[in-house]
Structure 1
Amino acid sequence: MTVLRSRLDTGSAEFAAARDAMLAELAGIDAAHAGALAGGGDKYVERHRSRGKLTARERVELLLDEGAPFLELSSLAGWGSDYTVGASLVTGVGVVSGTECVIVANDPTVRGGASNPWTLKKSHRAAEIAAQNRMPMISLVESGGADLPSQKEIFIPGGRTFRDLTRLSAEGVPTVALVFGNSTAGGAYIPGMSDHVVMVRDRAKVFLGGPPLVRAATGEESDDESLGGARMHAEVSGLADHLARDEHDALRIGRRIVARLGHRKAGPAPAPDAREPLYPAEDLVGVMPPDLKVPVDPREIIARLADGSEFDEFKPAYGAGLVTGWGELHGYPVGVLANANGVLFSAEAHKATQFIQLANRSHTPLVFLHNTTGYMVGREYEQGGIVKHGSMMINAVSNSTVPHFSVLVGASYGAGHYGMCGRAYDPRFLFAWPSARSAVMGPRQLAEVLSTVARQSAARRGEPYDEEQDALVRQMVQGQVEAESLPLFLSGRVYDDGVIDPRDTRTVLGLCLSFAHNAPVRGTDRFGVFRM
């Protein structure tokens, strides 16, 4: 393979400015993430502990193999909303008894672990990851069910949670529920629809309706234990497969269940002894300039991600706005598509389409590094077929069956976001750097388009145009779009799987490649009609 040679001047003023800007962005991300780590706050965490209970993250940590990594996902869900950051749920992927598992843990310190609209989005995404990558899914349950004031936004989509569990089971993807406390109303169906169920004695309570509801509905008097206690479900109803002495025992039993699953990875193993890149990951903090209009050579990023910084570029002299090529990442072969000058022309679209087909022919996963303003516009390019050529690229991305991994490192606007495998195109995992920006188009361009439309409308009506009002509207629209393009905003809506430190990109992608290889890695030769 060809070894990439870096030309990044880490001693320059430009690098220092980019580094300072990135570190400031990271500080903001860390502050937001601290809100998720805090759960319901000191008062409710201490009340939870006083009852002899572990926190959600403590349960996850004790479930995992000692020293095993845990890739937390969607940690900023709910940011910018009326709900607590993290959405009363911890989700991620970690190793349990030597098996990579998707883990979903209710945080009972946040409104009793009740589910709000962002909780659902986060749990649905976790189930999707388990299904796509054929990883066992473990639910650490302690939830009061739906957050009732939000019922109108929860009731209909909430049913998907149970559908996901049954579909995973039907596909042979194991599901395990460890019940630590209340699992009421809709939450009762989590253990009800899981393959394996463990309940903690004297703590777990699983029922469709608690004693007050039963009294109101039927007039029957009952207590928690006879209605839905762990012993009752273990000895009478049969809902519990295992009765644990305490939380630690439940986690021990959960680990033994996973150990007995006989899970085997279906994808090929990585090459042994993968070499580190020649250049330090620390450099990635200063790669992206604060002004995303300044071009960045994506080879500088690839050189700090690829094993040995080795990269065989495909069509280097054609469609220079998109860098494509082959390499390895933590021993896994990958194809890389990385935006160079920000704009995608017809040549770039042709190049990407062929490259994606080749990756499918060789069953090679694809990594997309986003920094694009979209497909080129203008009379010359429209007449040259940019619509049909961009459509070819999007067609190839849509129908490709090898695993896709997307990282938004800079701009990711318009249909360019789609062509580079944005969220709607089902990448196995999608992450963003703090420098990323994503929207229909850039804030300035969007504000200008709206201004032009309003100006033309006034002209057609024969009315004078208020320039002062136009300036105010443009400023307002531009500010709104800028705010809604930020990683915090997008991650808060679960449009990505997390905002990551650029220095962690190689590690995160390596973990995700390992996760994806739990499922078969197969390409396809079946694509839609390419409009040539």
Structure 2
Amino acid sequence: MTTLRTALAGTDGANRAAMLDRLAELADALDTARAGGGEKYVTRHHARGKLLPRERIELLLDRDAPFLELSPVAGFGTDFPVGASVVTGVGVVEGVECLIVANDPTVRGGAVNPWSLAKTRRAGEIALANRLPMVNLVESAGADLPSQADIFIPGGRVFRDLTRLSAAGVPTVSVVFGNATAGGAYVPGMSDYTIMIRDRSQVYLAGPPLVRMATGEVTDDESLGGAAMHATRSGLADFMAEDEPDGIRLARRCVRRLNWRKQGLPPRTADPAPPRYDPEELLDIASADLKVPFDPREVLARILDGSDFDEFKPAYGTALVTGWGELHGYPVGVLANARGVLFSEEAQKATQFIQLANATDTPLVFLQNTTGYMVGTEYEQRGIIKHGALMINAVSNSTVPHLTVNLGASYGAGNYGMCGRAYEPRFLFTWPNAKSAVMGPTQLAGVLSIVARQAAAARGRDYDEDSDAAMRMMVEQQIESQSGALFLSGRLYDDGVIDPRDTRTVLALALSATHNAPINGAKGFGVFRM
């Protein structure tokens, strides 16, 4: 292996200052999400002897086990609460990596809004792709009725996805802590194992008021859907717990009895060498100005085991760094943008490298910092479209796990070639400074200005320069705000905005999760246009 060397000494601190500003914004958003429905509703919930979703998760997990929370700022920048009234993530239960979904009843009773639906569905996708048993910690009032038009029809996929997990041999466990009403009732109803809590759990398609309106029957919560009824009469409850800790204990026992085995290979070493350089220095690397490229080898030197990296084709297509390393003992192939733009050489190099990774069943890590594929007459004539298509073909049809981190910019078709969200990486994370859009704000506003000028000239009209300046400013501000990391994460375009210093740990947890499923490379890639 070749040990990476650093050239980071002597930075002026501007990059670090800019990154710390973005991290402060992230911390504020995370604090808002963790506050749930606010102090009033949290206090009321605790007064009823009930735990908060993260407290339930903490009891469920093995002692001192990490929890990789996913989409923590879902809903940011929308009319819905930050965090989207549900907590999702990957954690270890009885030695088994599980995908955990926990409703937050302090936010509108845990009602499902469009973003909590999207967040829950993403959790299901991750569970299925990575063969992770799913544990649902249920307490939900069903759909958020004012937004039912955006929930009802697509919401059925959550229940379909649960049954597909079961059919794929991926177990599902539900613990019901309170109400599970209407659509919420189908989560325990479609789980492999269901646990209810005496005098607490209430699972029914319609509560007593709606039953009376629909049928005229007068009934009560316990007779209609209480834990004792479901444990003794309907058979919906497989286990009846005495209280919340007991319900979580039973969930842990269910997971223990799954006889679960990971199907991917274990790490090559149980005690991997840490990087040779301080991860604190990751705050100094990403450029405060996204137009200024930076060397991704500086990042690799601080996340790969022993800072060891065997670079592939180092003298060819130098705007893209490719090579092999290990991360917490897991072999990985890396594709990392070095100078933003992707030329034909970079696209061809990436295509070959992706094929090699699939031939050796090696997961791929994409470190994005790209402005897209090169444009212009010379590059079109040299075949940039077909070469970019080679790379996108390879990314699309590769079957080894892909893990993507946006370190800076992710613009245009470069987002596609570097395995953006549309190309279904197993996990995708973003640094807080990163941006993503069809193109940069200045470029996009400039294109609109050129088109408007040409339209005015075609009609024989004078062009209003003052209106043009105002339009460009408005468009640049809009794109700037809509391309930021928190805005995009709020819309589930990644699986979370992370502190750069946590990159190695986050990728290691994600890699470990992917190894629950077999790691098999693609046997074919379709037709490559040469």
Q: TM-score, structure 2 length as denominator? A: 0.99
Distance 1:110 1:200 in 2: 21
Cα deviation digits, residues 71-120 of structure 1 (max 9, x gap): 10000000001111000000000000110000000000000000000001
Native 8 Å contact 2:11 2:284 kept in 1? no
Q: What displacement does 1:12 show?
A: 2.9
Native 8 Å contact 1:357 1:525 kept in 2? no
SS in 1 for 2:399: coil
1:43-192 alignment to 2 at 5 Å? 43-192=40-189
Corresponding residue number in structure 1 for 2:238: 241
Cα deviation digits, residues 226-254 of structure 1 (max 9, x gap): 00001000000000000000000000000
Distance 2:96 2:528 in 1: 41
Corresponding residue number in structure 1 for 2:11: 12
1:125-524 alignment to 2 at 5 Å? 125-272=122-269, 273-524=271-522
Distance 2:394 2:474 in 1: 38
Distance 1:246 1:305 in 2: 43
Corresponding residue number in structure 2 for 1:2: 2
Distance 2:525 2:121 in 1: 28
SS in 2 for 1:457: helix
Native 8 Å contact 1:413 1:441 kept in 2? yes
Matching residue's letter, 2:11: S
Native 8 Å contact 2:195 2:240 kept in 1? yes
Distance 2:292 2:523 in 1: 38
Distance 2:301 2:358 in 1: 24
Matching residue's letter, 1:208: L
Structure 1: runs of 5 or more not aligned: none
SS in 2 for 1:71: strand
Distance 2:415 2:293 in 1: 17
Distance 1:411 1:106 in 2: 33
Q: Which moved more, 1:271-280 or 1:405-414?
A: 271-280
Native 8 Å contact 2:275 2:301 kept in 1? yes
Corresponding residue number in structure 2 for 1:40: 37
SS in 2 for 1:328: strand
SS in 2 for 1:373: strand
Distance 1:464 1:211 in 2: 69
Matching residue's letter, 2:458: R
Q: What displacement does 1:414 show?
A: 0.5
Native 8 Å contact 1:361 1:524 kept in 2? yes
Distance 2:347 2:231 in 1: 59
Q: What displacement does 1:294 show?
A: 1.1
Cα deviation digits, residues 379-418 of structure 1 (max 9, x gap): 1111111011001100000000000000000100010000
Distance 2:11 2:498 in 1: 25
Cα deviation digits, residues 154-196 of structure 1 (max 9, x gap): 0111001001100000000000000000000000000010000
Distance 2:447 2:11 in 1: 37
Distance 2:523 2:236 in 1: 46
Q: What displacement does 1:473 show?
A: 0.3
Q: What displacement does 1:461 show?
A: 1.3
Corresponding residue number in structure 2 for 1:21: 18
Distance 1:305 1:525 in 2: 30
Distance 1:324 1:411 in 2: 18
SS in 2 for 1:104: strand
Native 8 Å contact 1:276 1:308 kept in 2? yes
Q: What displacement does 1:141 show?
A: 0.2
Native 8 Å contact 1:408 1:431 kept in 2? yes
Matching residue's letter, 1:128: E
Native 8 Å contact 1:307 1:328 kept in 2? yes
Native 8 Å contact 2:74 2:115 kept in 1? yes
SS in 2 for 1:85: coil
Q: TM-score, structure 1 length as denominator? A: 0.99
Cα deviation digits, residues 474-514 of structure 1 (max 9, x gap): 00000000101100000000100000000000000011110
| Backbone CA RMSD of aligned residues | 0.6
Distance 1:435 1:110 in 2: 29
Distance 1:295 1:402 in 2: 29
Distance 1:154 1:453 in 2: 39
SS in 1 for 2:101: strand
Native 8 Å contact 2:341 2:372 kept in 1? yes
Distance 2:293 2:31 in 1: 33
Distance 1:463 1:220 in 2: 73
SS in 2 for 1:248: helix
Distance 1:263 1:406 in 2: 27
Matching residue's letter, 1:283: E
Distance 1:478 1:24 in 2: 21
Matching residue's letter, 1:522: N
Matching residue's letter, 2:272: A
Matching residue's letter, 1:393: M
Distance 1:360 1:449 in 2: 39
Structure 2: runs of 5 or more not aligned: none
Distance 1:478 1:525 in 2: 44
Native 8 Å contact 1:324 1:338 kept in 2? yes
User: What number of residue pairs does the alignment pair up?
Assistant: 529
Matching residue's letter, 1:525: K
Q: What displacement does 1:463 show?
A: 1.5
Distance 2:112 2:417 in 1: 34
Distance 1:376 1:146 in 2: 46
Q: What displacement does 1:271 show?
A: 1.6
